[in-house]
Structure 1
Amino acid sequence: MKLVNETSLFPLRKGRITRQAHVDLPEGTYEEEFARQGFFGRTTHLYRAHPPTGWTDIEGPLRPRSYDLNRLAPPAAGDRPAAFAPTCFLRNEDVALHWVRPGAMDFLYRNADGDDVHYVHRGGGRLECTFGVLDYAQGDYLVIPRGTTYRFLPGPGPQEHLLIESASEVTLPDRNQLGAHALFDPAVIDTPEPEAPAEPDRPWTVHVKRRGEITRVTYPFNPNDVVGWKGDLTVWRINVKDIRPVVSPRYHLPPSAHSTFLGRNFVICSFLPRPFEEEAGAMRVPFYHANIDYDEVLFYSDGHFFSREGIGPGMVTWHPQGIHHGPHPKAIPASRLKDRTDEVAVMVDTLRPLEATEAARGVENEAYWASWK
């Protein structure tokens, strides 16, 4: 993913405009950000007489879609034990998005297809892996490199994860002029501690996934028997409470300001509680934009989602490339009644178009496209 600003120093100006994007819009206009490279490339702001989402009908594959993952049925019996059987709902060549309800695993798992990023939507417990043990809780991101052998030992209560599977290595974005401690201090990252493996002397089976198929490897001992490690490749954890969003009291920042992880041809962002913009003329809600280069997926985890109606925890929205989206009609006046947001959401923007699986189509909120009326 290219995150380089190639905007012109002196953009052209025509007609009725505002001096500063997202601030003091001309009366009776709706601002659209028409931008390349996910807000990092060349950009023009369009001032329209009507919202670009003011459609009366949409037919075809670019229709905005919403899915209720809470309604996903457990996967059918197959070669994946129910204790760890992710259900894929969106995918492309670079990334696959899964919903998984992990149970106590009496086997080990290894992904040979890519890195796994688990966002813990509900529940908590202990992760046992090649590098040792690591406790986890709601709101944690668990970044698990390709080839790591691991299993979940969840605690009591419901367990639900958003699993983002990356074909490439997952890394951190460059914080540039914000400095090394922006968004979160690297010292808050936690890594596993070596520990003697559970039940070391009984046979253990490792389920290795490669090209979507499972190979089972059985050992007469627990293969997670590492007693020490050193290096810079490991499992790591960060909780959303330790991520501190970049804010501006005078200007609504683009989604790219909330980037948390990078993969090849996609980015993961975290939208977290923050104060609203204070200046009277500054926009407080996401501006309309055209999704020129990226598909945008938002997973809603907690709080009140002020820019969307009819959305609750465990739901997903998907806005494909080539179709506008932006705040719902009631969101703009409603944003003036509060001082801050309280939402927790995970966004995945992908350079290559995504496709929905049959599982997603079974839990689609069919009327979502009409929610801007």
Structure 2
Amino acid sequence: MTGIRERLDVEAISAQPQAARHYLPGFGNHHVTEAVAGALPEGRNSPQRAPLGLYAEQLSGTAFTAPRHDNRRTWVYRIRPSAAHPPFRRIDSGMILASPITSAAPEPNRLRWDPRPFPDGRVTFVESLFTLGGTGDVRSHDGVAIHLYCATASMRDEYFVDSDGELLIVPQEGALILHTELGVLDVGPGDIVVIPRGIRFRVVLGDQRARGYILENYGRMLALPELGPIGANGLANHRDFLHPTAAYENREEPVTVIQKYLGNLWAADYDHSPLDVVGWHGNYAPYKYDLSRFMVIGTISFDHPDPSIYTVLTSQSGVPGTANADFVIFPPRWLVGETTFRPPWYHRNIMSEFMGLVHGVYDAKADGFVPGGASLHNCFTSHGADAATYDKASTTELVPQKVDNTLAFMFETRLPLIVSEQAMAAAYRQSDYDDVWAGIGRTFTL
């Protein structure tokens, strides 16, 4: 098969309607999938010769000896072993950074950004990555980094692999088609997708441009939170997480694989696509989730529960109940609390809170926090409703209220987030953010 014909086949996969895509449901399940019947060996993982002339290879997301309930690994059967490539060479890392991020004097101030403007010209997903900040240390698999992407072009002959952490991608504008080693995932605003550490992929734009947020998790892999007294059901359910079915690229032509390793970018020139897995089985795989399937839990009497009830995924730390990172959403929901201030209360938190807005209006900020924008309230930084929101919420008639047509989210971490110098200097950072609380006056009476 010629390179031109293979290119057409690759583009045909992207052109398939999302409704035609088949997925494998179940968070953490052990999945079995073949793009060609007979690609998987029967009853063993590494036969003397794998079926169809393929190569058997194990992809380990945890140590071999990790407890069974934590162990993540996948066996792949591919056209060439992933070891078949020349050395990587260091390339310009652009606007990508890794923790520890060294700033002269990290600020305790509240920070907010307008949406990042789209660039002129052709900029791919990887080329657009912009590190806003981070915490912990990528070298010790602890902490996170937060990035923005703002792309105008698809990755055609370029592939990306992150050796530093798993990527939780939150699209804000524009659809993405993610071609990964283990299959294809379609996502758009209202979805999330998680690409585990070490899995190669490329991003094709489903629209003319795409923008969104990324949590790069250096720590323990994201998992569903414990439900405690909630019981067996609620929040995000296992069956709603979807994994790709096997789909391979049989490309024999020059491509470039870009690897992020300890914060720097490296590249190698391959003579074939690295997405050549014809079949796989295991529990270490990319997945997507439709946030509208989240079952919201809330009060039906009085008071405002802690926002932890909106946690979709969590990366645990060594301290029980204190996350390395949480992914929390604020989706459409009913508010019915009697004699209650219904927006988020005024708050200081040992955890650091980065917020983004996919669409709509966030119920704690009347103005200034817009879709595609972001805010950061670091460790013990005071925050809460702005003046206009407080005035309205503290005086309005408390009838049942539907918060609708909105989707905000939060990346929360136990460590202070160090903001990059490029994010502090960005023209779209709001220098007057503190003014949103300036109108809050004294109402104390004796």
Aligning the two structures, in what range does the TM-score lie when normalised by the shorter sequence?
Answer: 0.7 to 0.9
SS for the counterpart of 1:321 is coil
| Counterpart residue number, 1:340 | 402
1:284/1:332 contact within 8 Å kept: no
Give the equivalent residue in structure 2 for 1:327: 385
Q: Return the offset for 1:145.
A: 0.6
Give yes or no for contact 2:176–2:210 (8 Å, CA) kept in 1: no
Residues 28-55 of structure 1: per-residue CA shift (max 9 Å, x gap):
xxxxxxxxxxxxxxxxxxxxxxxxxxxx
Q: How does 1:189-268 map to 2 (within 5 A)?
A: 189-197=241-249, 200-250=251-301, 251-263=303-315, 264=317, 265-268=324-327
Q: Which residue pairs with 2:213 in the alignment? A: 162
1:333 is displaced (CA, Å) by: 4.3
The number of residues matched between the two structures is 307
Instruction: Tell me whether 1:298 sits opposite 2:355 in the alignment.
Output: yes
* Change beyond 3 A, Cα 1:232–1:74: farther
Deviation at residue 219 of structure 1 after TM alignment: 2.4
Letter in 1 for 2:134: R
For 1:294 and 1:349, how far apart are their aligned partners in 2?
7
CA contact (8 A) 2:304 2:341 kept: yes
Q: 1:276 aligns with which of 321, 335, 338?
A: 335
Give me the whole-angstrom Cα distance separating, in 1, the residues matched to 2:313 and 2:237: 14
Query: Match of 2:14?
Result: none
* Residues 157 and 286 of structure 1, relative CA distance in 2, 3 Å threshold: same
Deviation at 1:317, TM superposition (A): 1.2
Name the counterpart of 2:234: 182
Could you list the runs of 4 or more consecutive aligned residues of structure 1 that deviate by over 4 angstroms after TM superposition?
Answer: 72-75
Among residues 153, 158, 171, which one is paired with 2:223 in the alignment? 171
Q: Distance in 2 between matches of 1:245 and 1:223?
A: 40
Q: Is the 8 A contact 1:295 1:320 kept in 2?
A: yes
Output the amino acid matched with 2:146. Answer: L
State the distance in 1 between where 2:117 and 2:177 align.
26
Which residue is 2:154 aligned to? 104
Amino acid at match of 1:341: V
DSSP-derived class of the 1:334 partner: helix
1:84 aligns with 2:142: no
- Percent of paired sites with the same residue: 24
Alignment partners' CA distance in 2, 1:61 and 1:125: 35
Indicate the residue corresponding to 1:64 in structure 2: 110
1:134/1:193 contact within 8 Å kept: no
Tell me which residue corresponds to 1:316: 374
1:316 is displaced (CA, Å) by: 1.0
Query: What is the TM-score with the length of structure 2 in the denominator?
Result: 0.65
Query: Aligned-pair distance for 1:196?
Result: 2.8
Match of 2:344 among 280, 286, 290: 286
DSSP-derived class of the 1:229 partner:
strand
Secondary structure of 2:385's partner? coil
Q: Distance in 1 between matches of 2:125 and 2:416?
A: 31
Q: Which range moves more in the overlay, 60-69 or 315-324? A: 60-69
Inter-partner Cα distance in structure 2 for 1:113 and 1:287 = 36
In the TM superposition, residue 185 of structure 1 has moved relative to its aligned partner by: 2.4
Within 2, Cα distance between the matches of 1:127 and 1:72? 20
How far has the Cα of 1:256 moved from its partner? 0.9
- State the distance in 2 between where 1:314 and 1:140 align: 15
Query: Among 344, 347, 351, which residue is 2:414 paired with?
Result: 351
Separation in 2, partners of 1:83, 1:327 = 34
What is the RMSD of the two structures over their aligned residues, measured on CA atoms? 2.2
> Distance between the aligned counterparts of 1:185 and 1:258, measured in 2?
13
* Maintained 8 Å contact 1:140/1:239: yes
Partners of 2:326 and 2:412 within 8 A in 1: yes
Give the residue type in structure 1 aligned to 2:328: C
> What is the deviation of 1:161?
1.9
Cα deviation digits, residues 38-95 of structure 1 (max 9, x gap):
xxxxxxxxxxxxxxxxxxxxxx9222111113347679x9xxx744221011211211
AA partner of residue 340 (structure 1): K
Q: 1:105 corresponds to which letter in structure 2?
A: M
1:154-208 residue CA offsets vs partner (Å, 9 max, x unmatched): 11233012011111222221122323431132211111111131x6121222111
- Given that 1:288 and 1:327 are in contact with CA atoms closer than 8 Å, whether structure 2 keeps it comes out as yes
1:69 aligned counterpart, secondary structure? coil
SS across alignment from 1:330: helix
